[in-house]
Amino acid sequence: MSDSIYFFDNQSGVTSVYVNMFVTSELNWYAQQHVLIRQMTAFPRETTTIFTLITSIDAVTLNIYLRVPSWIVSAESWIEINNIRQHIELIPSTYVLLPINQWKTNDRIIYNMAMRLHAEPINDNPNLVSILFGPIVLGGLTAKAKPLPRDMNLIEQIYTTIQEPIQFEATALDNSTFRLLPLYEIVNQTYTVYFPVG
């Protein structure tokens, strides 16, 4: 996976780096481009990722492209460079080129990618859905797939600390409630990932 976080390009003498994944990592590019890029994030427990650049010369010329995921809520997402909010359109399923290409030591980029709940129907049945929060598939802690309302706004997020799993509470059409957690957080519990909607 680590070789998929960053991609590189060099056309017409301009070096570009593409950030493809949002995981805590470090790109040491001192030997070729005199720059180190450090990415810090608790994604998906938080929606921001922070990039800090360290250069071995006064300034480095580098185009930086950030992936704009298909699930992003564009109107609630933003990018800051050195604490200045940028006027950048974030179009899902593209890459955005940052408006700066001269970078100095301790330059910082903060990228906030807002997420929302959404339902994804299975291929052959639009009334049977899985529920996702951004890119995260959620599992319902229930022994059987209870019918849910179509309005995902009726599923409430439960406040948690950054150390706790993302959690939601759903109210089924029979007025019973159950928790929804990221599928990767569910261990030794009965769950389902497909729900009828009505």
- The full 3-state SS of 89-142, as one line of letters, equals CCCCCEEEECCCCEECCCEEEEEECCCCEEEEEECCEEEEEEEEECCEEEEECC
Query: Strand 63-68 and strand 14-19: pairing?
Result: parallel
pLDDT at 3: 62
Burial zone of 37 (CB within 10 Å; 0-12 exposed, 13-18 middle, 19+ buried): buried
Helices (H), the chain: 30-33
Task: Tell me the domain boundaries of the chain.
Answer: 2-112, 117-196
Give tens-digit pLDDT for 61-88. 999 999 999 999 999 999 999 999 999 9
List of residues 6+ apart from 171 with CB closer than 8 A: 149, 154, 155, 177
* Cα–Cα distance, 155 to 183 (Å, whole number): 17
The position carrying tokens 């805590």 is: 24
Series of mean pLDDT values for 10-residue runs along the chain (198 residues): 79 88 93 92 92 94 96 96 96 96 96 94 92 95 91 88 86 93 93 92
The candidate with the shortest Cα–Cα distance to 61, out of 31, 102, 90, 29, is 102
pLDDT at 1: 47
